[in-house]
A and B are shown apart, each in its own frame.
Chain A
Amino acid sequence: MTKPDNTQPVIGLEIHVELATETKMFCRCANRFGDPPNTHTCPVCIGMPGSLPVMNKKAVEYSMKVGMALNCTVPEFTKWDRKSYYYPDLPKNYQISQYDLPLTIDGHLDIPLTGGQTKRIGITRAHLEEDAGKNVHDFPAHTGVDLNRAGVPLLEIVTEPHLRSVEEVMSFARAMHRLVRWLGVSQANMEMGQMRFEPNISLWVGDPEKVFDESAGYFTPIFEVKNLNSFRSLERTCQWVIDYHQARIAEKGRGWSLADVGKQNWGFRDDLNACEFQRGKEEAHDYRYFPEPDLAPVVVDDAWRERIAKQIGELPIARKARYLDKYKISEKEADALTLDSPTGDLLDAAVAAGAEAKRCVNLMLGKGASIANERGCRIAEIRITPEQLAELAKMLAGGKVNATAADKIFAKMVETGDTPGKIAEAEGLLAIFDAGKIGEWVDQAIAKNPQAVEDVRAGGKKQKKAFGFLTGQVMQLSGGAATPAQVQKLLHEKLGG
């Protein structure tokens, strides 16, 4: 018998992503989360007799975008199928999906691993379907059904069973999350169920170098765990199932195998922080897929493919490398700027408008990030234009404003939408170059702080601190409009030292 410790997790992932279209997949009801139940429904998404689906072009294009970003092929011909099963959140009791001819196939995603390495994970397919509604379990004796979500476009991405550890699963999940947000095709808010994971987890018992080689080992039963809607539950589930398999192998040995037990459905219980059994292979569904007669197939030509490819642009990994190389910023900064694409687009546009990259980055990750954080949005969404950002960065570089003033201007800019130049002038934040005016403030500070003046003049170890103190006093009197360099120059002149 193979030793129980000679095991290798083999994991494949299905990821459901709700696409951020304005309307649903097959009707023009609003695709919106959080409204009162059944307020965004119509004959089509209620599945009323006589209603017919009409597909949403945007959803098709979003899916192509994801597929192409995952290096998938977009075949010329793709069609729709009906997948039959009964559940109250599925009003037609069939789901319009894609069975044998999905929109995109055969791709991969390179995921980062600790130690700076990457691993290529195969993507089997990404196909488009309609989401089900929501079963609400808040009632003591029954279930309530809300169809607002019914018919929302849902992209299902299926990986090859290439993931070999919980770490790889998590890296893949995070990379996928970043990618769909990057492409702007989904908010991927997991609390709202906009991104859901479904791992298929098995252990290979035998030579880990020879997974799938039947002479070298065997698989434990495959556990499929549906509807995981947080990174935490995904991580916990994978670890829990791996541990569970280990324990079963120790207990049952070879009897705990895919051949003997088959595939099972398990569910993750948040309250128990554990998984529970739902369904075995003998109760497996018979989905009775067949071509959807109400919808025409989709034929994708080169022109369409190219148009979508152009919309994809630079992907996060490439952009990060470029930032490190061209903008000479830190790894951490580059990461923060490539969480989504509009933020980097803002930076690139400001740089293109002639601003210094490093100064733009400081502004964006300083005041910009803090405002975005307060608002719970992305940096690109706080509403500043590349022109504003570039102008402010240039003012900083030219010494027209100091850093404190720049932060104030930034905040005002977000608030009013005015240009930084206009704000600086109106608010008196422009650096003062008038030696006479600064001289008056220097004189006042000297007059008010005889002790400090004395410390400066005396030299010695207190001098530096006292000089700094006086500089600060003058800055304060100027209301931040003077630049420290000018103040220090005048102080030196008047006090010597």
Chain B
Amino acid sequence: MTEKKIDRKLIRHIALLARIEMTDEQAETLGRQFAGIVAYMDKLGELDTDGVEPMAHALDVRNVLAEDTPGRSLPVEQAMANAPARDGGFYKVPKVIGDSQ
């Protein structure tokens, strides 16, 4: 299978992608467990899967479409009732630049 090394740098990289802060000690422990789990996953490499169609869905369902007819939205207070921080009708976050995309 792929060449890989489960080192602290990789764990740090994955942790950043996953947005999970961790201490060096946690990264160390996780790295060790990761190595074991990944080695186990590597077992799949034994199987010949050439030409096998990947299966992303449990069932073969197609074309589930809804009509473009408006339904009910939540009242703002209900929609934002769980918001950890608000400024009026906005969710409040630290300064960011621009919009995503």
- Residues of chain B within 8 A of A134, CB atoms compared: 99
Q: Which residues of B contact A196 (CB under 8 A)?
A: 101
Interface on chain A toward B: helix, strand, loop, or mixed SS? loop
Whole-angstrom distance from the CB of A74 to the nearest CB of chain B? Answer: 14
Smallest beta-carbon distance B71→chain A, Å: 3
List the B residue with the shortest CB-CB distance to A291.
B56
> Is the CB–CB distance between A60 and B65 below 8 Å?
yes
State whether B96 touches A87 (Cβ < 8 A). yes
| Contact yes or no, A227 B89, CB < 8 A | no
Chain B contacts of A39 at CB under 8 A?
73, 76, 89
Nearest residue, chain B, Cβ from A140: B95
0/1 string, B64-101, CB within 8 A of A gives 1 = 11111111111010011000000111111111111111
A29 partner, pick from B67, B73, B76, beta carbons under 8 A: B73
Q: Which residues of A have CB within 8 Å of B89?
A: 36-39, 146
- Known contacts A39-B76, A298-B62; A89/B69 CB under 8 A: no
Q: How far is the CA of A58 from the CA of B69 in the complex (A)?
A: 10
Kindly list chain B residues whose C-beta atoms are within 8 Å of the C-beta of A43: 74
A28 in complex: contacting residue of B17, B70, B101, CB < 8 Å? B70
B100 touches A143 (CB 8 A): no
Answer yes or no: A90 CB below 8 A from chain B CBs. yes
Cross-chain contact B61 with A296 (CB below 8 angstroms): yes
Chain A residues closer than 8 Å to B19, beta-carbon distance: 86, 93
| Chain B at the A interface: SS class | loop
A474 CA to B97 CA, complexed, in Å: 70
Q: A39-B73, A296-B64, A299-B63 are in contact. Are A227 and B99 (CB under 8 A)?
A: yes
Interface residue count on the A side (C-beta < 8 Å): 60
CA–CA, A42 and B71, complex, Å: 10
Chain A positions 271-322 with a Cβ under 8 Å from a chain B Cβ: 278, 286, 288, 290-291, 293, 295-299
Cβ of B57 under 8 Å from chain A:
yes
Given contacts A29-B71, A143-B93, contact A56 B66 (CB under 8 A): yes
Contact B90 A141 (CB under 8 A): no
Distance, CA A296 to CA B64, complexed state (A):
6
Q: How distant is the Cα of A303 from the Cα of B97 in the complex, in angstroms?
A: 46
Given A41-B79, A299-B62, A144 contacting B67 (CB threshold 8 A)? no
Residue of B nearest to A93 (CB): B19
Closest to B71 in A: A28
- Judged by a CB distance under 8 angstroms, whether A142 is at the interface is yes
Identify which of A15-23, A389-397, A480-488 touches chain B: A15-23
Assembly CA distance A293 to B90 (angstroms): 30
Distance to closest chain B CB from A152 (angstroms): 12
Task: Report whether B65 and A55 are in contact in the complex, using a CB–CB cutoff of 8 Å.
Answer: yes
A89: chain B residues at CB < 8 Å are 99-100
Bound state CA distance, A58 and B47, in angstroms? 43
A136 at the A/B interface (Cβ < 8 Å)? yes
Give the residues in chain A near B65, CB-CB below 8 Å. Answer: 54-57, 60, 298
- Shortest CB-to-CB span from A300 to chain B, Å, is 9
Residue A46 at the chain B interface, CB threshold 8 Å: yes
User: Across the interface, which residues of B come within 8 angstroms of A299, CB to CB?
Assistant: 62-63
Chain B residue nearest in CB terms to A193: B99
Query: Complex Cα distance A55/B69, Å?
Result: 12
Give the chain A neighbours of B76 by CB distance below 8 A.
36-39
Q: A29 to chain B: which residues have CB within 8 Å?
A: 70-71, 73
A–B complex contacts, Cβ < 8 Å, 18 sampled: A16-B101, A22-B70, A27-B71, A38-B76, A55-B64, A87-B96, A132-B100, A135-B96, A135-B98, A136-B90, A139-B87, A141-B95, A144-B88, A144-B90, A145-B93, A227-B99, A267-B98, A298-B65
Beyond A57-B68, A296-B62, 13 extra complex contacts between A and B, CB < 8 Å = A23-B70, A29-B71, A39-B76, A57-B66, A86-B19, A135-B96, A135-B99, A144-B90, A196-B101, A226-B101, A296-B61, A296-B63, A299-B62
